[in-house]
Amino acid sequence: MAYFAKIKNEANGLVIKVSVVDDAEASTEEAGIAHLKNLHGQDTIWVQTAKDGSIRKNYASAGYTYDSTRDAFIPPKPHNSWTLNEETCLWQAPVTKPNVIEVNEKRLALEVWSEELQTWKAYAADDQTEFIWNTSSNAYEAS
Give the pLDDT band (50/70/90) at residue 69.
Answer: very high
Mean pLDDT, the chain, rounded, equals 96
pLDDT (tens digit, 9 = 90+) per residue, 23-33? 999 999 999 99
Q: How far apart are CA 53 and CA 88, in angstroms?
A: 10
Enter the DSSP assignment of 50.
-
| pLDDT (0 to 100) of residue 19 | 98
| pLDDT (0 to 100) of residue 31 | 98
Residues 6+ apart with CB under 8 A from 116: none
pLDDT (tens digit, 9 = 90+) per residue, 41-52? 999 999 999 999
| pLDDT (0 to 100) of residue 79 | 98
